[in-house]
A and B are shown apart, each in its own frame.
Chain A
Amino acid sequence: MGVMRIGHVDINVLDINESKKYYENVIGMTVTKEDVDGTLYLKCWDEWDKYSLVLRPSEEATFNRVAYKVENDSDIDDLQKKVEAYGVSTEILSAGTVAECGRILKFIAPSGHEFNLYAEKTFVGKDVGTVNPAPWPVETKGIKAHWVDHILLMCEGPEKVMAGTKFFKEVFEFNLAEQVCVGPEGSLQAATWLARTSTPHDLAFVAGSETGMHHFAFFLDGWSDILKAADIMAMNDVKMDVTPQRHGITRGETIYFFDPSGHRLETFAGLGYLMQPDCPTVTWTEDNLWRGIFYHSGVENGAFTTAYTLCAYK
């Protein structure tokens, strides 16, 4: 089957203790592992693998890499051949190199970002278990985020957006749910939303001036959870970038906000719509760009597309 879903996001933070409190008390994640160097691994209550977020104490607030989970260990070998045949060099990291994970297929995608693929990660189970489970756990703190839903990565210009999009479509069979087309007769993709699950996006690319991470998102059930999440953020003095709003693109219900290092996060609620391999691609034109991004206001919001986390120095 190949790629199933987003597996984990790996970022650097300026104050690990402050970040720990934030992701536990506001987002509602649980620390499941801590390395001797202070690196933290966290999961949401509705996730079953050991972790979905890696926070590394650092002098930088930057993005390291994103990992996606594939279905079978043999996919690692099959996909390595496909990636290499596409002209992108790869590396296999042995089991255990990445905490709690089996073998890793590592490569720099044509978008400019490091991706890791893995088939195995230590199973710990959902907080509500699998026998007569409660619909949600009472004990969980904060906004009770269900899972890490998707990531949006910034690329150097439309050329890198198009190169990354083509690569993920052709090699990993991601489906193009939506795109923003600009330039002469809309010939350039300045943003794309790609799916492997049945939701409108598991991965998105947007054209910026430098390679980086715009945000990663946590899933919530629906609009009432978005409202309550915004209340909880205000109670905790979280800096909100965009208060509750609907996206035209993906139809998602959303809040954008920042973590203690300034990494932009999103709460994404609702299915959006059922994404399938034969679902027609939605196109947004340049003149309707901001209606696509913020459906209600339809106008630009400060530095929303131009200020974001950069990739770590290699």
Chain B
Amino acid sequence: MDSLSVYAGLVPKACHNGACGVCRAQVHQGSFEKLKMNKRHVSKEDECNNIVLACRVLPRGDMDIEFLPRPVSKSSKVYVLGS
């Protein structure tokens, strides 16, 4: 994740290990291996559709990925400290 940080503004990252889910991404192309996904952020169906948490993906070549916006929660309009 940090090696992607040359594009820091484009790469949502925080926990680097799965809990926070901010790096949820759609893989369009490229081969990769992956670690266990956090099902709270990536359902089995998501995984079948190549949706991943980027921090738990190990690229095996160039990849074409698209970071996904955070799902809109029912409380998306609440004041969030520090945002």
Contacts and interface: CB of A to CB of B under 8 A. Distances in A.
Contacts of A258: 15-17, 19
Interface string B42-83: 000000000000010000000000000000010110111111
A98 B13 CA distance: 35
A69 B80 CA distance: 31
Contacts of B40: 60-62, 310, 312-313
A261 B20 contact: no
Main secondary structure of the interface of A (DSSP, over half): loop
A147 to B, nearest CB: 23
A303 B13 contact: yes
Interface residues of A, number: 45
Given A258-B16, A303-B12, A209 B78 contact: yes
A305 B19 CA distance: 14
A60 B19 CA distance: 8
A9 to B, nearest CB: 14
A62 B75 contact: no
Interface string B19-56: 11110000000000001101110000000000000010
A302 interface: yes
Contacts of B55: 262
Tier of interface size on chain B = 20 to 34
A303 B19 contact: no
A178 to B, nearest CB: 13
B23 to A, nearest CB: 9
Contacts of B21: 307, 310
A261 B41 CA distance: 13
Interface in A208-224: 208-210
Contacts, number: 117
Contacts of A41: none
B80 A209 contact: yes
A162 to B, nearest CB: 11
Given A61-B38, A61-B40, A157-B75, A207 B80 contact: yes
A225 interface: no
Given A290-B82, A293-B82, A261 B17 contact: yes
B73 A264 contact: no
Contacts of B73: 209-210
Contact of B81 (A15, A206, A263, A264): A206
Contact of A264 (B15, B35, B82, B83): B15
Contacts of A210: 73, 75
A5 to B, nearest CB: 25
A239 B80 contact: no
Given A258-B15, A261-B17, A264-B15, A190 B79 contact: yes
| 7 A-B pairs with the lowest CB-CB distances in the bound complex, closest first | A157-B78, A262-B19, A307-B14, A305-B82, A262-B15, A262-B17, A307-B20
Interface of A: 14-15, 59-62, 156-159, 180, 182-183, 188, 190-191, 206-210, 239, 241, 258-264, 289-290, 293, 300, 302-310, 312-313
Given A239-B15, A289-B81, A309-B19, 4 more contacts: A15-B36, A158-B79, A188-B79, A261-B38
8 contacts: A157-B79, A158-B79, A159-B78, A209-B78, A209-B80, A264-B19, A307-B21, A312-B40
